[in-house]
Each structure stands twice: as structure tokens, then as C-alpha cells.
Amino acid sequence: MAATSATTFSIGSTVSFRSKGSSFPQAKPSAARFTSQNSVASFSGLKATTSLNCETESSFLGKESSAALRGSFVTKAQKATQRSQYGLQIQASYKVAILGAAGGIGQPLALLVKMSPLVSDLHLYDIANVKGVAADLSHCNTPSQVLDFTGASELGNCLKGVNVVVIPAGVPRKPGMTRDDLFNINANIVKTLVEAVADNCPDAFIHIISNPVNSTVPIAAEVLKQKGVYDPKKLFGVTTLDVVRANTFVAEKKNLKLIDVDVPVVGGHAGITILPLLSKTRPSVSFTDEEVEQLTVRIQNAGTEVVEAKAGAGSATLSMAYAAARFVESSLRALDGDGDVYECSFVQSDLTDLPFFASRIKLGRKGIEALIPSDLEGLTEYEQKALEALKPELKASIEKGIAFVQKQPVTA
């Protein structure tokens, strides 16, 4: 791609940048634009230079983060100029595997991850129909190489050398089906896939999407323990969709600018175990008791809202893919050395008397750097009662997952 003396590159992706204390605010779609004053002979899709102009917030970029991003790139660019006449260069150097890539969540998730400037290799696995998905995505002119893997015989090769594994594999919910109804089918799927992860990329970040997450994350933990490779800092239940929904619904209810809204969501990822902490909403906003109850119930039942609206044609696939892509991007940024990455996730935790609990976490190169307890301090009476009410159900789901693996030991 030839360029003249002033060259502008617009990268319209789902790149996620955020500031400390935010649970990843959302924003209107746009792009981060990188401008060079040098003559550039070619452009790989990743190169950027010393001048960063955030014309407006990207789809994953808050206004406070825009300033932080600008400052971060300026600092890096000053160092990079010593090495390259073009200044800052973003390097795609991470391998991501999506297990269940031909499904309703897997396909849009694969597209969004393909757009990340941090991904060098995108491995797509499923038991069927993944070759066409990979061929389709490979035509997108973003730098990551897309490879397809079909069936159990190719699963090991799919996972070798991978940095982040995302598991959306499983059957979707249908009308009248609870997340618990999915257990027997999805439990076996997750167990089998995590066994392969343990054998081929035990150091990878593992993102569990397959429902019921309250049980499948403990299943994954038990499998990894039996394989002798369990690192609780690298196993995540993806509950980002609950945060995305909470932010959206609160912004709509209170007529707030969506990019500014941040609602932490704790507990688990099903029904009453989903607890949005509306009293901790940023910016600070007041709710009537009726609004708190209405919003809480809607956030908890939002998945059912989509299932019913699709009338048997599927569950929440697009919003889930969006939320999962956001969590993938946060993980990649943490792996890349960003010291300011925070998300809510269902992880091994000591914040409550439960062994697993969803809360805000700080991500780093080695996974979870810290659990953030402040969100659980100073809860309202409604939130405190809801927290105590969710514990028995969440405890039962966790124990169900653990018992499943203990009754069916993993293969050596």
C-alpha cells in the first residue's frame, strides 16, 4: 500500500483499552487513528507511528481510557523511534484458540478476535463445519493467520503453543430450558476439551463460556488438578456479558451516556446468582427501590429474554460473542504488559466463603494479579440480602461440577 508524506491508518477493531476502576465502559463504534509524517512504502495492518489521534472513542474505549491510551502510545512511541524510522509498532504475537468455533457464539467471536491487532494466529476448532468458517475469515485483511481443526484427532494440534483458549462449545439453551438443563451435555464437552488443554497448552489462559458456567469452571479446575497443571490465576469463567447488559440497561433507564457507565456484577452467571451492584454504579446515580429490583431482575433474566425473543432459534449468541471478545482482548493486553486491566470474572476466590465467585479482578502477564474486594464493601441492605440469598444456589452448582469430575476421573 503506497503512501504519501502524511499517511493515516485507521484501525477499526474491537481493541479494548480501559482505565483503573472501570469495568470496561462501552462506547459508540469508531476507530483509533494512527498518523505518520513519514513516507511509508507498505502497511501490514499493524504498523503505527509516533502520532496518535483518538478522534473519538472506539467501541471498546472510554473517554478516560482515551487519554490513558494516548499517553501510553506517546511514551512507547518515543522509545520506539530509537529503533524504527516509523516509530511505534504494534506487534501481533499471541495465539488464540476458539473451541466450538462453528457455533452460534463461536463464529461471531472468531470474527471479532480476528480483528484484534494483538493476535498473530487464530486457531478454530469444532467437530464439524469449521473449515468453511476459517476459509471465510481468512479473507479478512487483518494480520492474524486463521487455521481450522476438525474433530478429536486434530484438537491437540489446534492447542499447541496457544496463549489464550476460549471455550464456547456446547449446546445452546432452548425455550423452557434452564442453564442447569444443559449440565449433562456441556459438562462432558468441557471436561474433554480441558483435558486436551492440560495436555497441550497448560500455561494458557482458559476462558470458559460453556454454560452452566457456575459448574463448568469448577469442572475445568478439577480436570486441571487431576492433570497436575492447575493454575487458579489462569482459569476464568466469562461473566462479562452480565456487565455489558448491566451497563446497557442502566444507561437506558437513567438516560446516561453509555460510555460513562460501569456497573460491577458479582456472584455467578445464572439467575439469582447474578448480582449487579447498582449502588456501585459509576457515575454515581440514585435508584428507587423499585428501579433496583426491576433492573436486577432484568439483568438476571436477560438471557431468557433473548431465548424467548428468538423463539427456539437460539440463545444470546451475538452479545455473548461481543462480551467474550472484550474479555479476550483484556487478557491479551494483560499478557502484553498493560498494567491497568480490570474485568469481572468467575474465578477461584477467597472473597466469600465460596470457592469460586465472580468479582472484579486485576489481570496481568501471569493471569489474575489481584481480586478487588472493595466492590463488596458497603453494600446496600438489598444487595447484602441478595448476596446471602445467592450463596446456597451457587454453592450447589459449584459442588455439582466438582462431583461430576470426581465421579468420572480424567484420562491420564
DSSP 236-265: EE--HHHHHHHHHHHHHHHT--GGG-B--E
> Is 123 among the catalytic positions?
no
DSSP 168-193: --SPPP-TT--GGGGHHHHHHHHHHH
CATH assignment at residue 276 = 3.90.110.10
Q: Which residues pair with 94 in a beta bridge?
A: 119
**Does residue 295 belong to any structural domain of this protein?**
yes
Into how many domains does the chain fold? 1
Residue 251 in grid coordinates: 444507561
C-alpha–C-alpha distance, residues 203 and 22, integer Å: 27
Q: Which segments of the chain have a pLDDT < 70?
A: 1-90, 173-175, 177-180, 411-412
**Does residue 332 belong to any structural domain of this protein?**
yes
pLDDT for 173? 62
Q: Which domain holds residue 178?
A: 94-407
Q: How many CB atoms lie within 10 A of CB 340?
A: 17
pLDDT for 32? 40
Are β-strands 119-126 and 145-150 bridged in parallel, bridged antiparallel, or unpaired? parallel
Closest CA to 69 of 48, 96, 85, 86: 48
**Does residue 388 belong to any structural domain of this protein?**
yes
CB 115 within 8 A of CB 326: no
Closest CA to 257 of 38, 8, 62, 44: 62
Helix ranges, 130-178 (H):
130-138, 152-159
Residue 151 in grid coordinates: 474433530
**Does residue 412 belong to any structural domain of this protein?**
no
pLDDT for 364? 98
Could you read off the pLDDT of 184-235 as tens digits, one per residue?
889 999 999 999 999 999 999 999 999 999 999 999 999 999 999 999 999 9
**Does residue 237 belong to any structural domain of this protein?**
yes
**Does residue 45 belong to any structural domain of this protein?**
no
Residue 312 in grid coordinates: 427456539
CA angle centred on 173, ends 168 and 298, rounded to 5°: 100
CB 342 within 8 A of CB 241: no
Residue 122 in grid coordinates: 487464530
C-alpha–C-alpha distance, residues 291 and 254, integer Å: 10
Could you read off the pLDDT of 298-321 as tens digits, one per residue?
999 999 999 899 987 888 999 999
**Does residue 73 belong to any structural domain of this protein?**
no
C-alpha–C-alpha distance, residues 126 and 54, integer Å: 38
Q: What size, in residues, is the chain?
A: 412
CB 406 within 8 A of CB 227: no
Residue 265 in grid coordinates: 456484577
* Amino acid at site 273: T
Are β-strands 205-208 and 235-237 bridged in parallel, bridged antiparallel, or unpaired? parallel
For 208, list phi and psi in degrees, rounded to 5: -95, 120
DSSP 3-state of 25: coil
C-alpha–C-alpha distance, residues 168 and 405, integer Å: 19
**Does residue 18 belong to any structural domain of this protein?**
no
- 289-300 vs 381-407: helix crossing angle, rounded to 10: 20
C-alpha–C-alpha distance, residues 125 and 169, integer Å: 9
Residue 246 burial class via C-beta count within 10 angstroms: exposed 0-12, middle 13-18, buried 19 and up: buried
C-alpha–C-alpha distance, residues 187 and 185, integer Å: 6
CB 88 within 8 A of CB 50: yes
| Active-site hit among 123, 139, 207, 269 | 269
C-alpha–C-alpha distance, residues 225 and 198, integer Å: 9
